[in-house]
A and B are shown apart, each in its own frame.
Chain A
Amino acid sequence: MSQQIGRQIYLKREDLNHTGAHKINNAIGQVLLAERLGKKRIIAETGAGQHGVATATVCALKGLECIVYMGEVDIQRQAPNVARMKMLGAKVIPAKSGSKTLKDATNEAIRDWINNPSDTHYVIGSVVGPHPYPDMVARFQSIISEEIRWQLKEKTGNELPTHVIACVGGGSNAAGAFYHFLNEPTVELIAVEAAGLGIHSGHSAATTTLGTPGVLHGSKSIVMQTPDGQVVEPHSISAGLDYPGIGPLHAHLFASGRGRFLSATDQEALKAAFNLTRLEGIIPALESAHALAGLEQVAFPENSKIVVCLSGRGDKDMDTYMKHMTEFD
């Protein structure tokens, strides 16, 4: 890939984590916290199913009851992860309102939490939700940039890349990948959102382009909404990026100009996924494929040292990939 782009590219391999994505970093932290708080029942929302699988995995290990809310559409398109959650002993409850995706699963999880506040801990899967979730999840995910620093040092003798690029759904892998570079002004932070069928197609999840300041799921950030404040149903081929908001940290990076925000369409993400697979022998998650697609949109200066956060592996997306296989042969 470095050869293809003509720049030094490093992949941060979160896909090699147990359960196959960065989500486990946060799930372990929060379930340990829940155990410490004496909570007996764990609930979570999930989009792609990776956060659900991660939470169900830690709950299996800890012997805790686990309930995962998942949009009906996502239950269909991420079936392998639904099966994994069930095998791990979690109960998967379909969210049937709205566009039946991540936002709606989050609504149901919050309602469950309101109804069961004393025995239940809600493990939110991204840097969204009410305080202290955005902060807490970012801290648990900050291991990503901690590792980028020492691994880069080991490989290149210098722990600072010139660019870090990551996909943004709610923004947890990006927050983790950016965290220890936030105060390093030489490191450019690049976030890639899902443009769906095209930013202005009416079927998109490119929040910073399409959104305006608003309140969603307990935090003030940028939200895709109508002029009278009703949240708009997003679209992305990738269940993990199919969300009409972003974490408040990212809204700040966007507004302050510290972060650069790009977007990749469904088609560009698919192309990038097949490209990585054939070049490197790595099948990425559809979410991570958006970060890879972002690579092609930037004219990187010579001598750039670019880290791409490969947030997860693509096993869960094989159905979608198989449908598009012939387009990329």
Chain B
Amino acid sequence: MSRIAALFNKSKSAQKKVLNVYCTAGYPALDSTLEVMGALQRNGADLIELGMPYSDPLADGEVIQQSGGIALENGMTIARLFDQLKDFRKVIEVPVVLMGYMNPVIQYGFENFCQKAAEIGIDGLILPDLPPLEFEVQYSSILKKHHLDFIFLVTPETTEARVRMLDKLSSGFLYAVSSSSTTGHEKDFSLVEKYLCRLQGYQLNNPILVGFGIKDKASFDQTTRYTDGAIIGSAYIKALDGQKDKTAIEAATKAFLKTVL
């Protein structure tokens, strides 16, 4: 069983909600990737979404854009990231998914990328600018071959038929964007609830994690009433506040996750 499937099995039987926290590789400092991941695991994150910085991150709001910009200035690349992570499974037990954009992955070589990611112990991928049709025709077999999960996003505008199609193509979990939005935007929660209720009613194959705009315990509890867990991104990056020092990263992560859990 995959690490992600095992996590959801465990949390379901314990009736616990999964907390997935996003962080940017190479931020705040080039070498803080593993320190941030360690701090997240120690302080209660069940799953880590590790962002690979890109010059033109269309699906991200300002906070994550800025963290990615700093990471690129720090010299972050996919090759460096794989190097930083080559032994990460010795210290990180929680599932880790990589989030990024198609272009850097294609330049690295899609198959090479998948092979390398799987080899070091990555569990899945999120590439919001990979359309489902291209995925199905060109890429899904490569992911399967390397036993990597692939996670699609759905929004309140996604029709039932398309939600079901994306559920079928996804494995690991389905990423429900809480409003049709780039990361870091808040929207009216009553509308969000209606939408999440609708998704819950579909009885999909994959667990659902809701993301975008969640920042504290109140918003976490509210959205996870209808889902299997939630994803926090911008609020955590903001909490890190660019501090590069190891103890500061630990302290900021601890303080932040206390406000959520």
Contacts and interface: CB of A to CB of B under 8 A. Distances in A.
Nearest to B60: A111
A231 B65 CA distance: 14
Contacts of B61: 111
B218 interface: no
Contacts of A223: 103
B129 A218 contact: yes
Contacts of B102: 215
Interface string B180-202: 11100100000000000000000
A292 B62 CA distance: 41
Interface range, B side: 20 to 34
A228 interface: yes
A58 to B, nearest CB: 25
B257 to A, nearest CB: 28
A117 B180 contact: yes
Contacts of A227: 107
A17 interface: no
B55 A115 contact: no
B44 interface: no
Interface string A102-145: 01000100110011111000000000001000000000000000
Interface centre among B102, B105, B155 (most CB of A within 10 A): B102
Nearest to A103: B56
Contacts of A229: 54, 78, 103-108
A215 B58 contact: no
B78 A231 contact: no
B79 interface: yes
Interface residues of A, number: 26
A106 to B, nearest CB: 9
A114 B182 CA distance: 7
Interface in B23-70: 54-56, 58-59, 61, 65, 69
B107 A214 contact: yes
Contact of B180 (A98, A115, A218, A230): A115
Nearest to A231: B55
B84 interface: no
A248 to B, nearest CB: 13
Interface string B103-144: 111111000000000000000000001010000000000000
B58 A117 contact: no
B103 A114 contact: no
Contact of A115 (B56, B104, B182): B182
Nearest to A232: B55
A216 interface: yes
A228 B104 contact: yes
B185 A231 contact: no
A214 B55 contact: no
A114 B77 CA distance: 27
A223 B181 CA distance: 26
B72 interface: yes
Contacts of B181: 114-115
A215 B182 contact: no
B55 A110 contact: no
Given A107-B56, A215-B106, A228 B180 contact: no
Interface of B: 54-56, 58-59, 61, 65, 69, 72, 77-79, 101-108, 129, 131, 155, 157, 179-182, 185
Given A118-B180, A215-B101, A223-B103, 18 more contacts: A97-B65, A98-B55, A110-B58, A114-B180, A115-B179, A115-B181, A115-B185, A214-B103, A215-B102, A217-B58, A225-B107, A228-B77, A228-B104, A228-B107, A229-B54, A229-B104, A229-B108, A230-B54
19 contacts: A97-B69, A98-B56, A103-B56, A107-B58, A111-B61, A117-B155, A117-B157, A118-B157, A118-B180, A214-B107, A217-B58, A225-B107, A227-B107, A228-B77, A228-B108, A229-B105, A229-B108, A231-B55, A231-B103
Q: List the 3 shortest-distance A-B pairs measured between CB atoms, nearest first.
A: A229-B104, A229-B107, A230-B55
Interface of A: 97-98, 103, 107, 110-111, 114-118, 130, 212-218, 223, 225, 227-231
